[in-house]
Structure 1
Amino acid sequence: MCGIVGVVSHSPVNQLIYDSLLLLQHRGQDAAGIATANGSTFHMYKANGMVRDVFRTRNMRSLPGTAGIGQVRYPTAGSASSEEEAQPFYVNAPFGIILAHNGNLTNWRQLKDEMFRIDRRHINTNSDSEVLLNVLAHEVQLATSGLQLDPAAVFKAVAGVHRRVRGSYAIVSVIAGYGLLAFRDPFGIRPLCIGKNETAQGVEWIVASESVAVEGIGFEFVRDVAPGEAIFIDNEGNLHSQQCAESPSLNPCIFEYVYLARPDSCLDGVPVYNVRLRMGDYLAEKIKRELPDVRIDVVMPIPDSSRPAAMQVAAKLGVEYREGFFKNRYVGRTFIMPGQAVRKKSVRQKLNAMAIEFKGKNVLIVDDSIVRGTTSHEIVQMARDAGAKSVIFASAAPPVKFPNVYGIDMPTRGELVAHGRTDEEVAKMIGADHLVYQDVDALKRAVRDINPAISRFEASCFDGEYITGDVTPEYLDAIERARTAPASQSERESAGDTADNSVVRSQLHLQLSTE
């Protein structure tokens, strides 16, 4: 899960991209980058850190141009300390292409090998995004004749990418001298939408991960990018679109609605906030069924993503709703922080339990989900330390039992507290008196109630069904071995060196010619 944005404007885009990345900061807090196109010249700046820390005035001045892309990175296994893997990525041929990617390729290692052995392309990092960029560049080269690139050739290249690449991917890129290209994988796993702004000089366009990034900078939301569809905006501001996949189908990641997306976003025609309210309705019904004789004095959310569900639970149960946890808004989202020890420490830094709301009460705590259980255990203990008489814990999402391979950092079964355990065993591990999980079918109904046109979801972390069809038990075993294998001494030293030099910045001025 990352946040991506691409803008084509009639004025400098650096500030528009920066503002959009701030609105997408919840999607990644590990690294940030912006690349702009000024005629035939690319300018790029990227580094580890949050948007407000990465970009200074001098960096923004070094990013001229009326088209560009940006990304905030959320690292999956192994890349948290690698500044070289911050995006966007750049390749100089054909034409010159910059690219930013949200998602995860399941066949990237095979593609990386093919790039070297067959396509004669060198991949410099272990990022699947760099592999994807080179696949796109190779397909663009095959699709073009002579020096000119037209929309038909662009769409032919994207069709070639769809045939070769597996997994989840939402893409924004710029081809030097020609325009902005954006596309979405044929399953529509990761979100992508289009917005526009009517000006006296003509229409300006934005493509972003979430609608909040479109509307937050004053653009008008137009629509979602369809699964398998490609959008090409040429240098004159003309938008071209075409379906480039053979059998596209919409299977949005349901965890976007649970946690990843902002509540004020709308994904694939579904307002996220409304889904979370419906999740609360269904969760309340299950609590009534499973705990009919358990006394609940007060319902409390874990701010912020579980607040809508908790409000509905309290209303449906006829119980008082209170805000017992105060959130420090200057600490990042604990789920997307790399490393279990960092997450555990950050819970106490992020939340404080106010004793006046807990003392002597039977407290029902509602959280959006339980993944590793570390955060939940700390929260339950905080409630007890604040004087709670008993603690009932409810998850607005079903138990996370299976690895996610499409861009969320849930890659090993051993890290998932619900894998191979009963609800009672999980309750004991997190220290709760009772535990209630949402049902998988109820979660899917919460989205379908709002948009019945969505018939399937990417919900593998809950139901173990991998919609791309290429994820086998052997594949899962392999990625688990890779994640849990001890690092070599040189790797540990390299990681330490990277951490010590996290303030290092990389800046590239790439001179390209379209002639």
Structure 2
Amino acid sequence: MTDNIKHECGIALIRLLKPLDYYFRKYGTWQYGLDKLYLLMEKQHNRGQEGAGLAAVKLNAAPGNEFIFRERAEGSGAISEIFEAVHDAFKPYSAEQLHDPDFAEKSVPFAAELLLGHLRYSTTGKRGLKYVHPLLRRNNWASRSLALAGNFNMTNVDEMFEQLVREGQHPRDFADTFVMLESLGHYLDREVQYQYDHLEQTDMDGHEKSLLIEDRLDIPFLLRRAAKGWDGGYALCGIIGSGDAFTMRDPWGIRSAFYYADDEIAVVASERPVIQTAFNLKKDEVHELEPGQALIVKKNGTVSTAQILEKKPKITPCSFERIYFSRGSDEDIYTERKKLGELLVPKILGAIDGDLDNTVFSFIPNTAEVAYFGMLEGLESHFNRQKAALLFEKGNRLNQEEIERILSKRVRSEKVAIKDIKLRTFIAEGNSRNDLAAHVYDVTYGSLRPKKDNLVIIDDSIVRGTTLKQSIIKILSRLEPKKIIVVSSSPQIRYPDCYGIDMSRMSEFIAFRAAIALLQERGQQQVINRVYEKSIAQRHKKKEEIVNYVKEIYAPFTDEEISDKIAQMLTTEDIGTEVKIVYQSIGDLHRACPNNNGDWYFSGNYPTPGGNRLVNNAFINFIENSESGSFQYTLNFLKSGR
């Protein structure tokens, strides 16, 4: 992806099912869990580079000793920073003490059996260490202490907040992370109190009651009570100070979560291949958590799953996970990304008028590389069919030289674009920055014949088009191709996301800006006004009653018309080469990724009512100039009809 879009966070949970001494004897270190957590987090580094955190729970901490620990840090180096802090906590102890797993289990911070890690990308614009997961709710009762981390965006935080207020709470922050923590913490408190009330008349002492309460905590019950009103996409991990742990996935299956368990360990991560790699497992040994399901690990080591919320009739896992976000080392994702490239071949052939002899194919590094391989395989298959047909048609009339010439034809592939530099934050804005931005990418000179060859270059998605306009198209044009065809392996991104991706403003989308421009050019501003009036009319309706009228902005145009307008908008006056943009169709996206059909950012078909409310508000904000620092049209301009 050439545009810098921030996306889903990453989660990692480890529960050691044996005492630390077991791992010391088998693997030579009681830090086995910490080492594996570090590996799981580093393998998911792509999922969050704004911050990272970890929390740990000791299962058998004696009174007077800490039982729950946490470290958090901001920045792209946060993973290293938090683990360095953990190891700094070991420095007061002698080598002999650190070589004793029993001593470590009793006395050394973070020498724990239950570990939770998180990698953060903010999607709400709220930054700072206070927003870095895991969030922690402390209490002297271990069973009331909760650390929470997740990959989520909730669309009805206002409703959740009001529910907490009605329950008598005083929430200290409106952010969904804090509201989720307090919501779960509230029902955890109630569950503990319920168990305590049932034991109050017994002659057990407080310590005995506390242990029995911890054993009896009904995690599925409290999750059902807390989650019944949630609207959004989430994969949520929680660890309780008494030793219970849970991971829950939303009932639409929007966000992903995978797990593995044996007699030594239970582990959760956002992606399957990181678990495979960290524990040397086969694909079928790692399981995907079902929509609405939770993985529960009790203090006694029992591992089970429970259906917390009913799976929704229409399951819509995020297709962007397959196109871009998840690591391509997953077997299924690798195959799907290749298929995305292959399915673009007919459109590509149309864009170059079938002229394979005078066309060079390449990709925008690095995330589009797998789709590029699929595109090449599709082109080779097309070429082979052409060669077979020619040989069959001419048969015995061909001499050996002509046969060799036909068989020698190949798809011309080169590494044309090279990611060269990253602009640092101290670079000035304005013309100076734009000039430097043009050199973020470089080209391989001599990779095509000037003014004779077309250049086809594939990217995995085109969101804003900023990097294409400021850098890629400018630098590619220096090779003087006859035509530049930029191919996106995903469809046109037309609508905001509200479930974890940093795409919330209408003006961010080059497809939306192109549709608005076309409506203006063709004297159809009344379409914009009508959509605005419909949106305002439903602004205060319940989210379940809101309709996505923004679809009407795109309705007058074909996909190709919008693509052509995008190409025009991304081509500056100094570009002497014709530029064409080719997008994947939504139908072919579903063919390539049949099990991840969440396509709301392409189609506008949101899986939850909160999505329609978000797109409604985003369009109103666009019209009323309440987006910050973005491409906008004022309401007065639109109403003037000019």
Task: Indicate the TM-score class for this superposition, using the shorter chain for normalisation.
Answer: 0.7 to 0.9
Once the two structures are TM-superposed, the CA of residue 285 in structure 1 deviates from its matched residue by 2.3
Find the counterpart in structure 2 of residue 20 from structure 1. Answer: 40
CA distance in 2, matches of 1:230, 1:466: 23
Residues 426 and 294 of structure 1: CA distance in aligned 2, closer, same or farther (over 3 Å): farther
Find the counterpart in structure 2 of residue 3 from structure 1. Answer: 10
TM-score by length of 1: 0.82
Residues 457 and 162 of structure 1: CA distance in aligned 2, closer, same or farther (over 3 Å): farther
Aligned residues with identical type, % of pairs: 24
User: Is structure 2 residue 86 aligned with structure 1 residue 86?
Assistant: no
Whether the aligned pair in 1 keeps the contact of 2:498 and 2:614 (CA below 8 Å) is: no
* 2:511 match: secondary structure: coil
Find the counterpart in structure 1 of residue 275 from structure 2. Answer: 214
Q: Deviations over 1:87-123 (max 9, x none)?
A: 1101125620101110200011221233234241423
Q: Deviations over 1:385-442 (max 9, x none)?
A: 3444431111000000111111111111111001153111101122261111100011
**1:297 aligned to 350, 355, 359, which one?**
359
Find the counterpart in structure 1 of residue 634 from structure 2. Answer: none
Find the counterpart in structure 2 of residue 393 from structure 1. Answer: 486
Q: Deviations over 1:125-166 (max 9, x none)?
A: x43122112111122233342251457710011112331211
Find the counterpart in structure 1 of residue 122 from structure 2. Answer: 75
User: Is structure 2 residue 406 aligned with structure 1 residue 379?
Assistant: no
Taking the TM superposition and a 5 Å limit, the aligned residue runs for 1:287-326 are: 287-289=348-350, 291-293=352-354, 297-318=359-380, 319-326=411-418
CA distance in 1, matches of 2:301, 2:619: 43
Structure 1: which 5+ runs fail to align? 449-453, 488-515
* 1:471 match: secondary structure: helix
Find the counterpart in structure 2 of residue 490 from structure 1. Answer: none
**2:112 aligned to 62, 65, 75, which one?**
65
Once the two structures are TM-superposed, the CA of residue 375 in structure 1 deviates from its matched residue by 2.1
TM-score by length of 2: 0.67
* 2:144 match: secondary structure: coil
Structure 2: which 5+ runs fail to align? 1-7, 21-29, 62-66, 90-109, 197-209, 381-410, 516-561, 572-577, 630-642
CA distance in 1, matches of 2:81, 2:614: 39
Once the two structures are TM-superposed, the CA of residue 27 in structure 1 deviates from its matched residue by 0.9
* 2:510 match: secondary structure: coil
Find the counterpart in structure 2 of residue 366 from structure 1. Answer: 458
* 2:278 match: secondary structure: coil
Find the counterpart in structure 2 of residue 188 from structure 1. Answer: 253
Residues 347 and 149 of structure 1: CA distance in aligned 2, closer, same or farther (over 3 Å): farther
* 2:503 match: secondary structure: coil
**2:53 aligned to 33, 52, 73, which one?**
33
RMSD: 3.0
Higher relative contact order (CA 8 A, sep 6+): 1
Whether the aligned pair in 2 keeps the contact of 1:331 and 1:346 (CA below 8 Å) is: no
Once the two structures are TM-superposed, the CA of residue 286 in structure 1 deviates from its matched residue by 2.5
Once the two structures are TM-superposed, the CA of residue 444 in structure 1 deviates from its matched residue by 0.8
Q: What is the number of residues matched between the two proteins?
A: 465
* 1:140 match: secondary structure: helix
Find the counterpart in structure 1 of residue 498 from structure 2. Answer: 405
Taking the TM superposition and a 5 Å limit, the aligned residue runs for 1:485-496 are: 485=627
Residues 114 and 346 of structure 1: CA distance in aligned 2, closer, same or farther (over 3 Å): farther
Once the two structures are TM-superposed, the CA of residue 84 in structure 1 deviates from its matched residue by 1.5
Once the two structures are TM-superposed, the CA of residue 61 in structure 1 deviates from its matched residue by 4.4
377-386 vs 26-35, which deviates more?
377-386
- The amino acid across from 1:459 in the alignment is D
CA distance in 2, matches of 1:299, 1:119: 63
Structure with the higher fraction of residues in helix conformation: 2
**2:159 aligned to 110, 113, 117, which one?**
110
Structure having the higher Rg = 2
Find the counterpart in structure 1 of residue 178 from structure 2. Answer: 130
CA distance in 2, matches of 1:307, 1:48: 30
Residues 393 and 100 of structure 1: CA distance in aligned 2, closer, same or farther (over 3 Å): same
Find the counterpart in structure 1 of residue 73 from structure 2. Answer: 47
Structure with the higher fraction of residues in strand conformation: 1
